[in-house]
Amino acid sequence: MGSVLKNRHNDAPLRRKGSDPFLLGLQKAPWPHKRQGMSLTTRLLALLILVSPASALALGKKPVVQPEPEREWTMLVFLNGNNDLDEYGFSDLNEMETVGSTDQINVVVQWASIRNGDTRRLLVKRDDDRDTVTSPIVERLGRKDMGSYQELVRFVEWGVERYPARKYFVVVWNHGGGWHRRLQGMLQDISWDDLSGNHITTEQFGGALKKIARRIGRPVDLLGNDACLMAMAEVGAELAPSVRVMVGSQDLEPSDGWPYDGLLNRWSAKPEATAAEVGAMLTEEFVKSYQGGTQGHDQVTLSTIDLGRQDSLHRAMAALRAEILTLGAADLERARAAARAAFRFDSEDYADLGDFLDLLAAQNVSALSPEVLHKARAAVSRAVLSNDFTPNFARAQGLAFWLPRSSADYRQYARRYRKMSFHRATGWADAVERLMR
């Protein structure tokens, strides 16, 4: 690979299943008149042949496949290589194959690839070949739109039925843009499919996980975004009713993405790990891999977020919003100074929430209650379960949020933002509008 790598944001180069009528017909037809000439064993054998999986396929029906035994975990990776990250899909699958599925952890992938020309479902198995994907193909699907939230739902529902587990880890692998991203005139949030031209919006993402949680009968234990810019309060708010823990980066991820080999090596040694523990393993391995580890050198950050803490975070942010709306001119300017100085990410209207709150407290805004600020800062701290980073992200505390720099940026996205779960819970767009005036 050359010295210039694409990133998982796809903007600029980064240094880096009724009856079968045929069988019904057989039931009506008499057996041969010389019934003694066909033993019971022979009859049963004939029936078994007729209803075998191969016969079912010949009749155009899918064979009934029994689910695998229940494991501790099933990881379901929605790997969208229908774009310029295709080659990295091969690399990451080979990383997964260094460990593969175990007697306690299923590793299952829906893999779309431009190079392959189709979409495949794999049960990842261990091998020693780092150059070739050798895991068995469970299903060939042809071309599928990986920019469709419905396809994500279909994959996970299939995986849950086929590979049951006590806990589920759903991973969306592709480009990401946080709660919004406008590139070349198009909004693109996550899972961009260049063949269909579609992507999954943040709102659709939340709807998809709601359907998946309904199918499982409880929230998804762990949701991972192997994509850029997804560790945001706004993304978490859409997912929160349906996901317990989320992993994502506040900034760009290099195209090599997560170190699946490092994660699976650690996880397989402790398969009973909780979602928070798996998230912590991943954040640590991710950062380590880019500090002269298996993926070279790059500046990265990754965090694990407890979405069960969103209600307290939303209450705290709603209280802060109410006080910002009452600020006088002098205090408002101090609050604006904190907003201007807040640590920013590749998307300039995404800022670190914890850093903004720290700066706001340091500005001594007299009309802001210390208790309100304390509760907001504590809510962020509790929500972020683990946060690992390289030196350039020392001020990143694990959770980004929307804090545009200008009135123009605010106006571009305000209408959509006001319909999103985070604003409905906090009224945050009102505070942003006040800070932008």
**Domain ranges across the chain:** 71-308, 311-383+399-436
pTM: 0.86
Say if strands 198-200 and 186-187 run parallel, antiparallel, or are unpaired.
unpaired
Res 368: pLDDT: 95
pLDDT in tens, 199-210: 999 999 999 999
3-state secondary structure 157-168: HHHHHHCCEEEE
**Residue at token pair 């990401």:** 176
Closest to 316 measured CA to CA, from 383, 219, 387: 383
Question: For domain 71-308, which architecture applies?
Answer: 3-Layer(aba) Sandwich (3.40)
**Residue 380 amino acid letter:** V
Residue pair 207/151 in contact (Cβ under 8 Å)? The answer is: no
Closest to 300 measured CA to CA, from 312, 289, 314: 289
Query: Phi/psi of residue 382, each to 5°?
Result: -70, -35
Say if strands 71-81 and 105-113 run parallel, antiparallel, or are unpaired.
parallel
Closest to 384 measured CA to CA, from 411, 347, 412, 357: 357
Closest to 421 measured CA to CA, from 313, 345, 323, 324: 313
pLDDT in tens, 273-315: 999 999 999 999 999 999 999 999 999 999 999 999 999 999 9
Q: Structure tokens of 214?
A: 């309904």
**170 burial level (CB within 10 Å; 0-12, 13-18, 19+):** buried
**Residue 60 amino acid letter:** G
Residue pair 16/298 in contact (Cβ under 8 Å)? The answer is: yes
Res 55: pLDDT: 44
Which portions of the chain are predicted below pLDDT 70? 1-64, 182-187
Rg for the chain, CA atoms, rounded:
25
Q: Structure tokens of 260?
A: 């699946």
Res 35: pLDDT: 30
Q: At what angle do helices 275-289 and 260-269 cross, to 10 degrees?
A: 140
Does the CA dihedral 346-325-203-217 come out positive or negative?
positive
Which uninterrupted H or E stretch holds 306?
Answer: strand 301-306
Distance CA 155, CA 173 (A): 13
Q: Structure tokens of 120?
A: 């495949």
In terms of residues, how long is the chain? 437
Q: At what angle do helices 149-162 and 202-216 cross, to 10 degrees?
A: 20
Residue pair 252/286 in contact (Cβ under 8 Å)? The answer is: no
DSSP state of 217: T
